[in-house]
Amino acid sequence: MDEIRTPAYQIFQARHGRPGSEVGDWQKAEASVSADPTKDASKADAATSVQVPANTGTIQDALTKFHSSIEHGLTHEEAATRLKQDGPNAIEEKHISPLKRFLTFLWGPIPWMIEIAAVLSAVVRHWEDFVIIFFMLALNAVVGFWEEFKADNEIEALKKHLALHSRVLRDGKWSDVEAKTLVTGDIVMVKLGNVVPADLKLVDGDYLSIDQSALTGESLPVDKNKNDIAYSGSIVRMGQMNGLVTATGMNTLFGRTARMVESVKTVSHFQQAVLKIGNFLILITLCLVALILTVALYRGDPLVETLLFALILTVAAIPVALPAVLSVTMAVGASALARMKAIVSRLVAIEEMAGMDILCADKTGTLTKNELKLGSPVIFKASDAQDLILGAALASRTEGGDGIDEAVIKGLSDISALKAYQITHFTPFDPISKRTEAEVKHDNATFKVSKGAPQVILDLVHLDADARKKAQDQVTDLASKGYRTLGVARTDAQGKWEFLGLLSLSDPPRDDSASTIATARKMGLQVRMVTGDNLAIAREVSVELKLGPNIAVASDLFPDGKSDDSAKIDAADGYAEVFPEHKFKIVKALQAQGHIVGMTGDGVNDAPALKQADCGIAVSGATDAARAAADLVLTATGLSVITSAIAEARKIFERMNSYAIYRISETIRVLLFMTLAIVVFNFYPVTAVMIVLIAVLNDFPIMTIAYDNTIVAPRPVRWDMERVLTVSSVLGVLGVISAFGLFWIAEKYLLLPRPVIQSLIFLKLLVAGHLTIYITRSAGTFWKRPWPNWRLVVATETTQIIGTLAAVYGWGMTPLGWKYALLLWAYALVWFFINDMAKVEVHRLLNLGTQRHQRHLARVNASHHPAVVKAANSAD
């Protein structure tokens, strides 16, 4: 019904600026897509960006290649042979057994440390330690397995979109067969409502109108004629044709999309950070254990006692609850996001969302409403705008479900006005006439109305040269702004056609898109539009949403299917004429530039890019395949929830970051103190029972950090391991100094026996450890807002009270008494203020170093701009 129907014509129109060109021009462009038999099936034609099967050529060439015919198709024997050779027309699946998947969560640096500790506990028959350690190991594995259990079902979701049965011609007879038994060379019939079962070269019939938006991202159904390609997984909206199967299963465009989804293997920044933390702690543990064993062997200490201490040291070093605490923190955040109508399917995506600095937003259905809307009309013979729209509405069907007809009818200020008119005959749209026509009766008068491609309507009405040029200029101007246009005509009392005017159509942006983009920019997030529509449409929408005019055409970015300029991809404000392979490669190119990339989408075509992205976001109404591949599924329309989700994700990240600093500093403090105590003083500062109590009392209550109050970072946040390890190390070393200070005071001045000193040090490690969490919550002083959440305060102080009572009354240790317990609390509070001041100073120095580094980079990058260099130098 509109003049822009096929991908080739869209691109021809956009590049030549002649939306009113004769039909023959764009048919030649379309034909050129399939004419070259040398194209690779996995690549898009560089000139047109249209995906075509390999080596098809003309219809007769294709029939000869596949040894088939329009009249008879294949024989049953030949079909059976090819099915055996090529396999079923289905999406391949690779299943991993649940047991194997579960065991993967028991493999890695942190699980290894926990497993070693469990083995050592069993060897020295410390069964209470063994039970606690084994429980934590199992808890971490179960939490991880449960959260990832549903994350690998993308291929199954894609499979559900394939047609189940097809009508096929074999041995000259039509019959219904299972779609999975189709082979190349089969002649298949597709008609209204069918899902195209394989990639087909259309060889017989009048025409098809196919909805392939889920595969290519085009807004409207496209017309298909003989020699065109119909893609597997697309839906027939109008017409009936026969097609030659040229590709099946994983070799179709649909299958290649599935293969890309299957091939994506990503490791989140969260997983990388946990691995770095684990490796750092392993290195420290190995070094200190080696030192202890060397000293023990040199001193001739008993082997069993040495192994026992190795166990204590290992248990102290293991961040047993680290994965569990971080998982609980993200799970609590996921619940908060669910209340915002954003469902998290992969917990680590929350951390990725916090660091996301580029969001690739699918245009159709995401930034826009995916529904046509009338723009400003161009009036010729019509009395006013409503008269023009009424003429077009009379040439439309209210019940047909056509997007253009619906947009025209909605444009009427009073739909009830149609009741006064009687349609006595209606001629529907077809790709040859390219217009609709209705015979209308009103007040005993009869007239005709027609709407369709502007060139066709102009030929119908026979305008004079000046009026025709004016109309063509208007069509060209509207097309350059991304509008589709319709011509409308009506007969007068003498039956002569009159040109009423032009209607413009567009897919308008969502009401909240502009405000969401503006909010995202304030949060340091760049939004890039991605669309399968042509350059003119993409540029107009981009300017309207204030995304920027620099829209890159995908075929220019990926000549011959490859990217040769990641910087050019990074510099673009959006991407037009994009196919599934392009989306996938755009995400990878941006990631290669160091960005954390989010991708929104709703169709099967978006699934590979959604999975490759650091944070894939399936918007409301997305297909099952898109939802399965995504990390975040939106259940409400629009994008406004994304900015809220990002703010929540940044809060969650701050909680995880503060816990990581806390846990590493505590590990360093306990490890280093105990090692130096045994090496220098030949003294075990705590017993095995004390270590287990410290581990339990420290880690379990700290899970309430998931509810802690925190700031929302104004910019994307990422794991800065240098900062994390530096702050942790400083706090850890200060903890060692304070612990030895206490040991020196207790032994030299208070003259306490060693068992009492052990109880004193136990209480010091516990109290100081819990106070450290208040220090690591933020980079500023501890008394500044946001203050700790009441859950964190209650959990922390409750365990401190329990630990104090255990030390005072001797639960599993020598009683300490209230006098020394209160003195210990005073000592710990003094060091709490010292540590907090040290933390603030370390952050200040790190920030200063970062600023100097950024100014240095600015000077390097601006070496050709003296004014910028002068400004950077003056900042120092």
DSSP characters for 538-597? Answer: HHHHHHHTTS-S-EEEHHHHSGGG--S-HHHHHH-SEEES--HHHHHHHHHHHHHTT--E
Q: Identify the band that residue 297 occupies on the pLDDT scale cut at 50, 70 and 90.
A: confident
Supply the pLDDT for residue 253.
Answer: 76
CB distance 121 to 130 below 8 Å: yes
Pick 671 or 857 by higher pLDDT: 671
The answer to whether 362 is a known catalytic residue is yes
Q: Could you tell me the pLDDT band of residue 578, with boundaries at 50, 70 and 90?
A: confident
Taking alpha carbons only, the member of 633, 582, 631, 624 closest to residue 233 is 624
User: Across 16-20, 300-304, 513-517, 627-631, which has the greatest mean pLDDT?
Assistant: 513-517
| Mean pLDDT value across residues 66-82 | 91
The H or E element spanning position 360 is strand 358-362
Greater confidence (328 vs 162) lies with: 328
| pLDDT value, residue 594 | 87
Structure tokens at 417: 């006005």
| Sign for the pseudo-dihedral over CA of 165, 163, 343, 144 | positive
For 690, the token pair is 């004390």
| Helix (H) or strand (E) segment spanning residue 241 | strand 235-247
Neighbour count for residue 150 (Cβ, 10 Å): 10
User: Which residue type is seen at 23?
Assistant: V
8 A C-beta contact, residue 454 and residue 378: no
Instruction: Please give the Cα distance from 321 to 659 (Å, whole number).
Output: 11
In 3-state terms, what secondary structure has residue 729?
helix
- Amino acid letter for position 849: G
408-425 in b/e form (b: 16+ CB < 10 A) is bbebbeeeeebeebebee
**Range of 314-328, 436-450, 553-567 with top mean pLDDT:** 436-450
Average pLDDT over residues 356-380: 86
C-alpha 573/C-alpha 588 separation (Å) is: 16
Classified as helix, coil or strand, 205 is: strand
Judged against a pLDDT cut of 90, whether residue 213 lies above it is answered with no
Whole-angstrom distance, CA of residue 186 vs CA of residue 74: 6
Q: Which residue has the higher pLDDT, 99 or 673?
A: 673
Q: Mean pLDDT, to the nearest integer, of 223-242? A: 84
User: Are the C-beta atoms of residues 280 and 664 closer than 8 Å to each other?
Assistant: yes
pLDDT at 621: 73
pLDDT value of position 498: 95
* CA pair distance 686, 330, nearest whole angstrom: 34
Burial 531-566 (b: 16+ CB within 10 A, else e): bbbbbbbbbbbbebbebbeebbbbbebbeeeebeeb
Q: In the structure, what pLDDT confidence band is assigned to residue 644 with cuts at 50, 70 and 90?
A: confident
At residue 114, the pLDDT reads: 67
- Secondary structure of 167-187 as H, E, C letters: EEEECCEEEEEEHHHCCCCCE
**700 vs 821 pLDDT, higher one:** 821
Q: Would you say residue 591 has pLDDT above 80? A: yes
Query: Residue 567 — pLDDT band, cuts 50, 70, 90?
Result: confident
8 Å CB contact between 220 and 532:
no
What is the rounded distance in angstroms from the CA atom of residue 506 to the CA atom of residue 219?
Answer: 10
Higher pLDDT, residue 110 or 433: 433
Q: How far, in Å, CA of 501 to CA of 470, rounded?
A: 11
Report helix, strand or coil for 652: helix
Cα distance between residue 567 and residue 558, in whole Å? 13
Q: pLDDT tier at 693 (50, 70, 90 boundaries)?
A: confident
Rounded CA gap, 827 and 829, in Å?
A: 6
Which candidate, 469, 457, 470, places its Cα nearest to that of 499? 457
What's the pLDDT at 618? Answer: 85
What is the pLDDT confidence band of residue 305, given thresholds at 50, 70 and 90?
A: low
* End-to-end Cα spacing for the chain: 65
> How big is the chain by its Cα radius of gyration, in Å?
35
Percent of the chain surpassing pLDDT 70: 77
- Phi first, then psi: what are they for 498, rounded to 5°? -120, 140
At residue 132, the pLDDT reads: 66
Place of tokens 């005019």: 549
Q: How many CB atoms lie within 10 A of CB 124?
A: 16
762 within 8 A of 807, measured Cβ to Cβ: yes
Place of tokens 């705590």: 686
The DSSP line for 814-875 is ----HHHHHHHHHHHHHHHHHHHHHHHHHHHHHHHHHHHHHHHHHHHHTTT-HHHHHHHHHH
CA 94 to chain centre: 23
Q: How far is CA 620 from the centre of its chain?
A: 14
pLDDT beyond 70 at 532: yes
Task: Give the pLDDT band (50/70/90) at residue 401.
Answer: low
**pLDDT, average across residues 332-341:** 79
The top-scoring range by mean pLDDT among 349-363, 370-384, 661-675, 817-831 is 817-831
State yes or no: pLDDT of 535 exceeds 50. Answer: yes
pLDDT in the model for residue 36? 37
User: 729-752 pLDDT, tens per residue?
Assistant: 999 999 999 999 999 999 999 999
How sure is the predictor about 321, in pLDDT bands with cuts at 50, 70 and 90?
low
Q: Are 14 and 554 in contact (CB under 8 A)?
A: no
| Beta-bridge partners for 209 | 223, 238
User: What does the CA dihedral 587, 589, 590, 591 come to, rounded to 10 degrees?
Assistant: 80
At residue 12, does pLDDT exceed 60? no
Please report the pLDDT score of residue 24 as a whole number: 30
The per-residue pLDDT for 335 is: 78
Helix (H) or strand (E) holding 635: none
For the ranges 23-27, 223-227, 266-270, the one whose mean pLDDT is highest: 223-227
What's the pLDDT band for 6 if we cut at 50, 70, 90? very low
pLDDT, tens only, 173-204: 999 888 889 999 999 999 876 778 889 999 98
* Res. 55: pLDDT tops 60: no
The DSSP code sequence of 427-487 is E---TTT-EEEEEEEETTEEEEEEEE-HHHHHHHHT--HHHHHHHHHHHHHHHHTT-EEEE
% pLDDT > 90, the chain: 26
Angle ∠(158,160,161) on CA atoms, nearest 5: 70
The alpha carbon of 334 is separated from its chain's Cα centroid by a whole number of angstroms, namely 15
Would the pLDDT of 151 be above 70? no
Answer whether residue 244 shows pLDDT above 90: yes
Chain Cα centroid distance, residue 284: 36
How many Cα atoms occupy the beta-carbon half-sphere of 807 within 13 Å?
A: 33
SS3 44: strand
State the pLDDT confidence band at 864, using cuts at 50, 70 and 90: very low
Closest C-alpha to 361, from 606, 585, 544, 596: 606
Q: What integer best gives the mean pLDDT of the chain?
A: 78
pLDDT band, residue 267 (cuts 50/70/90): low
Q: How far apart are CA 488 and CA 504, in angstroms?
A: 11
What span, in angstroms and rounded, lies between the C-alpha atoms of 656 and 647?
15
Residue 564 amino acid letter:
D
Mean predicted confidence (pLDDT) in 787-804? 91
**CB atoms closer than 10 angstroms to residue 78:** 18
Which DSSP helix (H) or strand (E) runs through 97?
A: none
Tokens 């166990």, located at residue: 311
User: pLDDT per residue over 90-107, tens digit each?
Assistant: 766 555 666 776 776 677
For 51, list phi and psi in degrees, rounded to 5.
-75, 125
**For 682, left (φ over 0), alpha (ψ -120 to 50), or beta?**
left
Q: How confident is the model at residue 1 (pLDDT cuts 50, 70, 90)?
A: very low
Residue 634 and residue 650: Cα distance in Å, rounded? 18
- Distance, CA of 123 to chain centre: 47
List the catalytic residue out of 362, 405, 533, 708. Answer: 362
What value, to the nearest 5°, has the Cα angle with vertex 480 and ends 477 and 485?
65
